[in-house]
Amino acid sequence: MRTDSKIAIAALLALGLTGPLRPHPAAAQGTPATATPSASELAQLLPGVETDDLSPAQREVLARVVQDEFCYCGCPHTLSGCLREHKSCRHAPRMAALATRLARAGLGQLEILKFLTEYYASFDRQKRARLDVKAYGPPLGDAGAPLALVEFSDFACPFCQALRPRLEAFVTARASRVKLFYKPFPIASHEHAADAAEAAEWARDQGFFWKMHDSLFDSPHALSIDDLAARASRLGGDADDLRQAVEGHRNKARIQASQDEARAAGLTGTPTLFLEGRRLLLPDLTEAGLEFTLEDEEEWKKNGDWVKD
């Protein structure tokens, strides 16, 4: 559950569960108003970037961003200038596509600029969280995949439930590139969340974590101790042992360790994702957003930095 309602709305938007956000007026962004660029004028600012579907308000926001922000390739051009004058740059089109996707999602100028700054800064090794996954396997996907995606999640969280099918489909389709580790972060205010986390960790020790994981998410309103015991039995486990594990908090230390680690890494709610220790930012957790950041991570891992032009 997100503690910031604005982020929660952004999460719903990213997952396709709500309508478009109300456009941010230019005045609300703390910058002087300018004429809204036409579709053709914006195309001149962003050659090669698909922007035809943007609303007038979104075009205005995006035009401000690309004429204010500098390309992260290190050249002395704004993002628009780099696209127009530094045509060999491989990064400007990607950065422009990211800014366009954020504008399309309804973010305002300052929100997009903040997102871009935080996104590119997150690749710094010093800013990455060190997350222990040894006790939280096996991963979804190929265990030999080079990149690790860690999800801190709560079985009783509606946002986690909404993200789950997209996230799992994304990893399954890219099993050779990225693997997914699930780490528990039950929210105290969510009824039965702690018991569900205990049941999942019990199943991890029994060797069928992902079956239990799927079953818990498939029936998020059936998480009482009786429901959990019945679920364990259906999955081929010992229902009585499950009861003892949950009621005796057998895996409390492992769950607490996961929560402590998440808080130390800056988690404020669920779901929160880290790719190779780099926190992934809302509202760009769509398939396109995840693929984009996976490609960036692959480039960074291969070269130890961005590829220079």
Give the three-state DSSP class for 65: helix
Angle (nearest 5°) at CA 163 between 158 and 165: 115
213: closest CA among 252, 170, 160, 257? Answer: 160
168, pLDDT greater than 50 = yes
* Residues 46/100, Cβ–Cβ less than 8 Å: yes
Mean pLDDT for 212-230 is 96
Name the β-bridge partners of 273: 151
What was the pLDDT predicted at 21?
32
Domains of the chain and CATH, by start? 5-122+287-303 (no CATH), 147-273 (3.40.30.10)
What band does 243 get if pLDDT is binned at 50, 70 and 90?
A: very high
pTM, to two decimals: 0.85
Computed over every residue of the chain, the mean pLDDT equals: 88
Pairing of strands 147-153, 178-184: parallel
Tens of pLDDT, residues 23-65: 333 323 333 445 899 999 999 999 999 999 999 999 999 999 9
Which of 20-29, 58-67, 263-272 shows the lowest per-residue confidence on average (mean pLDDT)?
A: 20-29
Residue 87 has pLDDT above 60, yes or no: yes
Tally DSSP H helices, then E strands, for the chain: 13, 4
**φ, ψ (nearest 5 deg) of residue 270:** -120, 150
* Contact between 102 and 11 (Cβ < 8 Å): no
Of the candidates 205, 303, 275, the residue with the CA atom closest to the CA atom of residue 246:
205
- Can you tell me the mean pLDDT for 210-224? 96
pLDDT at 233: 97
Question: pLDDT band for position 17 (50/70/90)?
Answer: very low
96 versus 32: the higher-pLDDT residue is 96
Query: For position 1, what pLDDT does the model report?
Result: 44
